[in-house]
Chains A and B, each alone.
Chain A
Amino acid sequence: MVDYTYTLLIPLIPFVFFILIGLSGHKMKPIVSGLIGTAGLGIAAILSYITAIRYFWTDHLAESGYKSIKAFEITWLHLTDKLTINIGALIDPISVMMLIVITTVSLMVHIYSLGYMKGERGYHRFFAFLSLFSFSMLGLVLATNIFQMYIFWELVGVSSFLLIGFYYEKPSAVAASKKAFIVTRFADLGFLIGILILSFNTGTFDFQLLTSPTGPAITMPGGAAFMGMSVLTWSMIFIFMGGAGKSAMFPLHIWLPDAMEGPTPVSALIHAATMVVAGVYLVARLFPVYALGAPDALTVVAWVGGISSLFAAIIACTQTDIKRVLAYSTMSQIGYMMLALGVSGYGGENGLGFMASNFHLFTHAMFKALLFLGAGAIIHAVHSNDMKDMGGLRKYLPITHATFLIACITIAGIPPLAGFWSKDEIMVAAWHHNKILFSIEYLVAGLTAFYMFRLYFSIFWGKATHYHHTPHEAPYVMTIPLMVLAFGAVFAGFLPFHALVTSDGMPFESHLDYSIAIPSVLIALLGIGLATAMYRKSNGLPDKLAGIWGISYKWAYHKFYMDEVYLFVTKKIIFGYISVPVAWFDRHIVDGFMNLIARTVQNTSNLIKNFQSGRLQQYGYVFVTGALALVLIFVYLWN
């Protein structure tokens, strides 16, 4: 077989560089640590490209269908005789695709931050954390068993905590990082419970065993074990809960908008391209179990995806902070991917949804990273996140303007660019599976086009606001990644995904279904037209429209008050009604009981104090009555 053990190096290099920069970073000049980090990622990127090329093309595995190859495995911890935690690398179409995505975006972000973070305090700490993040993300992707994935899952959570909280003097950043970590941690609890149930019933952690159709998971005797669903379905839902937390799906999405407190390259890397798609990757990795073993779980995935994308799209239309808009657009696009997975069947043609979701993941990573980096350049120039104090920047930032425009067109789903191809596949898959979901997605496509172009026009067009010092174009080190990503966003659409990444590894023929493609392009154009009308020239139309929608606008603007609900739950319930009473109970009742014992001993000793009254005759009296009492008890009363 083809030897892939070198793939072990891909996660290892960033880890080694993390240790290097972390320990001795403050000694060397900041730029040096930056370059080391970027070099590390460069080597990892080259290695993953080689792997991709070899896996997909040169080793021509296509004929017999792409098999998952276990490149490397060592036992890390010995649990029960059946269950052992191994650490290794699993090469398989989705993992190779993810390798490409992660290393490319991470490289671009590294190069971008060389310029963006110049002059920041803790420069080396930023690059150390970036390498740590890349290591944990690559480790997660290459996981051979579900427990290894859980290990790197936690590491990803921690590194996102560290990166969001990079500006640790800002209380809002600290709060955001804490919130992100706790919400994802709560989701990880679900993931852990899912793993426990799954491993208890199937007796293994290994993906290859779990996903093989004849394996213990899928052939597990079903039957409604609990509340109408089989044990396998419940474990799959719990595992999805873990994924939903990480990918900021509907109930657990509150941390994503606040995560924007972190530096923009971080948002570009983590909250656009890599970490948030971990949930999609998880479902994709366990897709055979979902599709064959637990179809109800799959419908849950689909509906959660659908609701999240609609919910996020509506909010995105009302936000004024450009990074928040992009955050909600990410959430909505991931909702797309989840829905695509949800509606997909297994094997060959009906695995279209699976292929579409991965295809969209690939393209989305490109243009969303581009959008974030562009927004970073804009903020870098204007020193403010708010849309209101921007306008008419196309004159000052030509390259950013061009690349930003390309990205907006792609995400809106206009034909020649990559966005159209992947979103169209999803629409087709949704159409075949479930009409309501298709209509939701159709509406969301329109909304996406609307809010992207609202964003575009209010930044680059609209009234020319005066700037106290003229915004200047970002330096080359920041614009090159923009251009590379723009290239990716344009040509990624032409990659024959249906031949590469499919649900069962067997490539299948797919053709453009015009009956769905045309209406989706129309709805996109409608959205763009509406946005140009309202925002191209600054006019009262947006405020008038906001007035019409009234309360629902206000609600959407305040993110449907979800934050307040969560705050209420955590602050009042967990703090107020559980921990405070527990602490009070412990300090007063349990501790009080111990002090009570001590006090009663003290009181009884005071009580019987006057036995010892000093009077001799009383001693004699006690003496005699004591003797007589003993006689009475032991002569007459004793049996």
Chain B
Amino acid sequence: MTGSIPLQYFLVISTLMFFTGIYGFLTRKNLITMLMSIELILNAVNINFVAFNRYLYPQNLQGHFFTLIIIAIAAAEAAVAIAIIINIYRNFRSIDVDNVDEMKF
């Protein structure tokens, strides 16, 4: 099953996915799409953990559980983030990140 694919490939995928997520975070103008890019970032990290666990240290399940916890936390985070986004929608009538800059300098 995993014999032929070297670990490095997984790392390449996860790093590219990670940086795509960051690119999304920095450029997308809509708050929810920023949330999506964060999910991408967390997913990249999960791949990393799982790959390491499987390839390097199969004797324990630390990477596996780390990913599990990350998924749970991502869920919690998404919930609170979306609650706040809805709240912003009520206050600002739009969820464009650029008009959320009343406080500056």
Chain A positions within 8 Å of B, measured between CB atoms, are 609-610, 612-617, 620-621, 624
- In the complex, the answer to whether B25 meets A614 with C-beta atoms within 8 Å is no
Supply 13 further A-B pairs (C-beta < 8 A) apart from A613-B105, A616-B97.
Answer: A609-B105, A610-B105, A612-B104, A613-B104, A614-B101, A614-B102, A614-B104, A614-B105, A615-B98, A617-B25, A617-B34, A620-B25, A621-B26
Whether the Cβ atoms of A624 and B26 lie closer than 8 Å is yes
B22 touching A617, Cβ below 8 Å: no
Q: Which residues from 85 to 105 on chain B have a C-beta closer than 8 Å to any C-beta of chain A?
A: 97-98, 100-105
| Contact status B104-A616, CB under 8 Å | no
Contact A615 B97 (CB under 8 A): yes
A620 contact set on B, CB distance < 8 A: 22, 25-26
Residues of A within 8 A of B34 (CB): 616-617
**Residue of B whose beta carbon sits closest to that of A625:** B26
Task: Name the B residues within 8 Å of A610 (CB-CB).
Answer: 104-105
Query: Shortest beta-carbon distance, B22 to chain A, in Å?
Result: 6
- Smallest beta-carbon distance A79→chain B, Å: 65
User: Roughly how many angstroms separate A616 CA and B34 CA in the complex, as a whole number?
Assistant: 11
B27 CB–A CB distance under 8 Å:
yes
Whole-angstrom CA separation of A417 from B98 in the bound complex: 114
**Pairs A–B under 8 Å by Cβ, sample size 26:** A610-B104, A610-B105, A612-B105, A613-B101, A613-B104, A614-B101, A614-B102, A614-B103, A614-B104, A614-B105, A615-B97, A615-B98, A615-B101, A616-B34, A616-B97, A616-B100, A616-B101, A617-B26, A617-B27, A617-B34, A617-B97, A620-B25, A620-B26, A621-B26, A624-B22, A624-B26
A14-B100 Cα distance, complex, nearest whole Å: 91
When chains A and B are docked, how far (Å) is the Cα of A612 from the Cα of B27? Answer: 18
CB distance from A619 to the nearest CB of B (A): 10
Measured CA separation A621–B100 after assembly (Å) = 16
B16 CB, min distance to chain A CBs, angstroms: 15
Q: How far does the Cβ of A627 sit from chain B's closest Cβ, in whole Å?
A: 10
Complex CA–CA separation, A81 to B27 (angstroms): 84
Considering the complex, give the chain A residue whose CB is closest to the CB of B37: A620
Closest to A615 in B: B101
Q: How far is the CA of A583 from the CA of B32 in the complex (A)?
A: 66
Chain A residues, Cβ within 8 Å of B104? 610, 612-614
| Chain A residues in 8 Å Cβ range of B100 | 616
Smallest CB separation, A613 vs chain B (Å): 6
Query: B104: nearest residue on chain A (CB-CB)?
Result: A614
Q: State A624–B24 Cα separation when bound (angstroms).
A: 13
- Output the nearest chain A residue to B27 by Cβ-Cβ distance: A617
A613 / chain B contacts, CB cutoff of 8 Å: 101, 104-105
A-contact bits for B22-46, CB 8 A (1 contact / 0 none): 1001110000001000000000000
Q: Which residues of B contact A621 (CB under 8 A)?
A: 26
Give the CA-CA distance A613 to B104 in the complex, in Å: 5
Residue of B with least CB distance to A616: B97
**Chain B contacts of A617 at CB under 8 A?**
25-27, 34, 97
Bound-complex Cα distance A613 to B105 (A): 6
Closest to A613 in B: B104
Contacts of A609 in B (CB 8 A): 105
CB of A148, distance to nearest CB on chain B (Å): 72
Q: How distant is A259 from chain B, measured CB to nearest CB, in Å? A: 71
A617-B27 Cα distance, complex, nearest whole Å: 7
Task: Report how far A399 CA is from B100 CA in the complex, Å.
Answer: 110
What 9 pairs between A and B have smallest CB-CB spacing?
A614-B101, A614-B104, A609-B105, A615-B101, A620-B26, A621-B26, A616-B97, A617-B26, A620-B25
